[in-house]
A and B are shown apart, each in its own frame.
Chain A
């Protein structure tokens, strides 16, 4: 039973990683860039929803929508101002610009909301007004799953299915896949590459906003650096599953969360990250393109 509860907390954490990793992987697939500012968009999403709930008194669902709207606009603006002029530049230049954007977002947040951590009002508090715990009790109360974990897992699955349908069925989704295969050929077929990339950033940032809300609901301290570590972990998850692949990001995120929770529970709290990263290295040595990534041999 103990094992099951660790497993569930791992899956719940992994679902958050998976949602972030989906955004990472989509942007990487299409723009071939590591968007290090992605983690900070999560933080912005967290702060926006925090302000909406605490200062404006909006209900949770409206706060999520507001955060998604702000982050979508933010994603499009960042892409247009910082990344679009560098479309033909070497990938390292874009990487450094992304780091610059990340510093910019962190420091702006520091100026607006100050360094002191904010206590995030969870979307679903752990206890309700009567003092009863907001959790699903199973096996005569031996196993309790909080509603927020259930919500996190459910949203992750819904997002994953929606994204898969979006990329395989809609016109825009097909355009995205075409652009990630070959930008030049896609342009020749009449696809507006710039608009497609902007849309990808918009979707990725909206996902980051959702991830921000879910992350802060489970781990309720919010500060300007909140997004960095989950961002790095999600990036790891995306690589773990095979970067550029949507099911890969989902699988990578879940596995990463479970490994982290298990390592914390059974081996050592201090070394949880070490174990996560060590597993990553071993997986990459066996499967150099990640779990579900396509290995493309170089042709001469």
Chain B
């Protein structure tokens, strides 16, 4: 009898998509029931953004194998360009969902450009040096946005760069009725919040679709070959720069889209939100979920975003408990005794275990 064989990874992918859909439906039902707490409802869109950020960072760290400590920088680029796009297109595109989509595409495009600019020099470096340069990039973006003044009036966009700290939004020379979009260190204030949970869900699905398809394509196999042994990969004719850039820029663009959604979810947003700690937070999602494991990233992102809320009972101690949980989980998942103990429960191990 001929049995229909489904590839192992196809089944995992299918279950991942299904899981996200089920989660979305359940959350929507709970939301309409009113059984979600107010703080948790407010977290829905950020959770979607963080999930998408984690999946896209996993492309760089898990699949490409390069440590990036500046992923929040791309999120920042996406967020602020998305906000500028959404605010200045208010008259041209009145429909909010369409405007949100345009803003997210603009955010993704801007972040992709930033990805090319950073990636071209940086991807030649190795290991921890690459990590420090991505960190530096994240800090540079934060400082630059802090100096940025952007306004919009009937004549179009006005931009100024507040180098000395003496300029204000009035120096843009806008006409009557112009709106200030980004006000330097104050960030973007008065943004019309058009982000919705549905948009977040679509973002997560698109991110998953892009990353999973890239991973299983010819290019994805080339990228993973690079990760495992760059010299061997190069010797069989894989173009290192091309595939590294492909993974890095895709990851940046997805982070930009997530950033745009994140930015349009809050009426006020400062550049300092996307600092080193945010980059680290997303890296924690990726490592905790498992390198190269996308559904792991999704679960880790959701769980760790909700965790501080759930730890409210500990009040002042909650971040302390969070830190202890983080350390203990890392110690437990890397404990050789526990590892052998858990591996007994796996009926069949996948043949090619992913190297880290």
Contact = CB atoms under 8 A, between A and B. Distances in A.
Interface of A: 28, 34, 36, 82, 85-86, 88-90, 92-93, 95-97, 99-101, 103-104, 107-108, 110-111, 228, 232, 235-236, 239, 243, 267-271, 273-274, 277-278, 280-281, 284-285, 288-290, 298, 300
Contact of A277 (B129, B139, B231): B139
A260 to B, nearest CB: 12
6 contacts: A85-B334, A99-B280, A104-B324, A270-B146, A278-B136, A288-B129
Contact of A97 (B129, B143, B331): B331
Contact of B287 (A82, A92, A278): A92
A107 B319 CA distance: 7
Contacts of B147: 268, 270-271
B136 A236 contact: yes
B283 interface: yes
Interface in B324-343: 324, 326-327, 330-331, 333-336
Contacts of B180: none
A111 B323 CA distance: 14
Given A85-B334, A232-B276, A34 B131 contact: yes
Nearest to B134: A281
Contacts of B276: 228, 232
A298 B231 contact: yes
Contacts of B350: none
A218 to B, nearest CB: 22
Contacts of B283: 95-96, 99
B330 A274 contact: no
Nearest to B333: A93
Interface stretch (B82-90, B157-165, B187-195, B210-218): B157-165
Contacts of A290: 129
Nearest to A97: B330
Contacts of B306: none
B140 interface: yes
Given A281-B133, A288-B125, A101 B327 contact: yes
Contact of B326 (A99, A232, A269, A280): A99
B126 interface: yes
A191 to B, nearest CB: 23
Interface in B300-356: 316-317, 319-320, 322-324, 326-327, 330-331, 333-336, 356
Given A270-B164, A281-B122, 6 more contacts: A96-B330, A101-B327, A104-B327, A107-B319, A271-B144, A274-B143
Nearest to B231: A300
Would you call the interface of chain A mostly helix, strand, loop, or mixed? Answer: helix
A271 B184 CA distance: 13
Given A96-B283, A103-B319, A285-B121, A278 B331 contact: no
Interface residues of B, number: 49
A243 B125 contact: no
B326 A103 contact: yes
Given A96-B287, A100-B326, A284 B129 contact: yes
A280 B125 CA distance: 13
Interface of B: 61, 67, 121-122, 124-126, 128-129, 131-133, 135-137, 139-140, 143-144, 146-147, 162-165, 231, 276, 280, 283-284, 287-288, 291, 316-317, 319-320, 322-324, 326-327, 330-331, 333-336, 356
A277 to B, nearest CB: 4
A85 B332 CA distance: 10
Nearest to B135: A232
B132 A235 contact: yes
B144 A274 contact: yes
* Ranked 6 nearest A-B pairs via Cβ: A277-B136, A103-B323, A100-B326, A104-B323, A89-B334, A100-B327
B270 to A, nearest CB: 14
Contacts of B319: 103, 107, 110
Nearest to B121: A285
A86 B132 contact: no
Contacts of A298: 231
B326 A92 contact: no
A114 B323 CA distance: 18
A290 B327 CA distance: 31
A103 B323 CA distance: 6
A20 to B, nearest CB: 15
A235 B163 CA distance: 26
A96 B288 contact: yes
Contacts of A103: 319, 322-323, 326
B132 A236 contact: yes
Given A270-B165, A281-B136, A289 B129 contact: yes
A136 to B, nearest CB: 32
B334 A93 contact: yes
Contacts of A289: 129
Given A85-B331, A96-B326, A278-B140, A107 B320 contact: yes
Contacts of A270: 143, 146-147, 162-165
A188 B320 CA distance: 41
A82 B163 CA distance: 43
A111 B125 contact: no
